[in-house]
A and B are shown apart, each in its own frame.
Chain A
Amino acid sequence: GAVVSQHPSWVICKSGTSVKIECRSLDFQATTMFWYRQFPKQSLMLMATSNEGSKATYEQGVEKDKFLINHASLTLSTLTVTSAHPEDSSFYICSASGGGNNSPLHFGNGTRLTVT
């Protein structure tokens, strides 16, 4: 149980284009989803908290106009990297929680984004 599907697993795009990453909870309802960025051999950096039906809460230093988050249903959140640049190349991971402070986080497999 508690499976989170993230798609695509990898994507290569040209500078200036936009990329959408999907995060789905397959067998539970995720009231809250989190988006992280992970650089090689580093920890997970929380980018934003996505709550179903409301605006995402972005962490300090994360541009909300560049990283658009939509959480329109209890099973789907999307992250769109707009006007991507090479410095946006990274590993993006989502996690979903069933709700409550004591609910564990279930992670997607991550998306390796390369911007050329």
Chain B
Amino acid sequence: GQQVMQIPQYQHVQEGEDFTTYCNSSTTLSNIQWYKQRPGGHPVFLIQLVKSGEVKKQKRLTFQFGEAKKNSSLHITATQTTDVGTYFCAGRNAGKSTFGDGTTLTVKP
């Protein structure tokens, strides 16, 4: 079945440093979605990428979708303490979303 690998599992950065998490799918995806889950909370939708090679930005967050539509990345520039949480990618194909294991980001002030 479809598998989505996400790395790294954990990332600890100093406030102001950049952060990147990567997702790789075993199959070509229809789209990929990114979610953020704060400690004790539920996943919140951040963005969706549909087109091959697509790049989207949300303030300090940059999302990319690979040319082959099998990989994606989320990059945060100049992290802040409010960025802490677990970031999940979800690869969508045939109506089903498969979540990566998530990358938990901690930020030291």
Contacts and interface: CB of A to CB of B under 8 A. Distances in A.
Contact of A44 (B33, B94, B99): B99
Nearest to A57: B96
Contacts of A105: 33, 35, 43, 45, 90, 97
B31 A43 contact: no
Interface in B12-61: 30-31, 33, 35, 41-45, 48, 50
Interface string A102-115: 10111111100000
Interface residues on B, range: 20 to 34
Contacts of B92: 101-102
B67 to A, nearest CB: 19
Chain B binding surface SS class: strand
Contacts of B96: 46, 49
A50 interface: no
A49 B94 CA distance: 12
A101 B99 contact: no
Given A32-B95, A101-B30, A102-B31, A43 B100 contact: yes
A54 interface: no
Contact of A34 (B33, B97, B104): B97
Contacts of A106: 45
A107 B43 contact: yes
Contact of B42 (A41, A49, A102, A107): A107
26 contacts: A41-B104, A42-B101, A43-B88, A43-B99, A44-B43, A44-B99, A46-B96, A46-B98, A49-B96, A93-B42, A93-B43, A95-B43, A101-B30, A101-B31, A101-B93, A101-B94, A101-B95, A102-B30, A104-B33, A105-B43, A105-B45, A107-B42, A108-B42, A109-B41, A109-B42, A110-B42
Given A43-B102, A105-B33, A105-B97, 10 more contacts: A42-B102, A43-B88, A46-B96, A49-B96, A93-B43, A95-B43, A101-B95, A104-B45, A107-B44, A107-B45
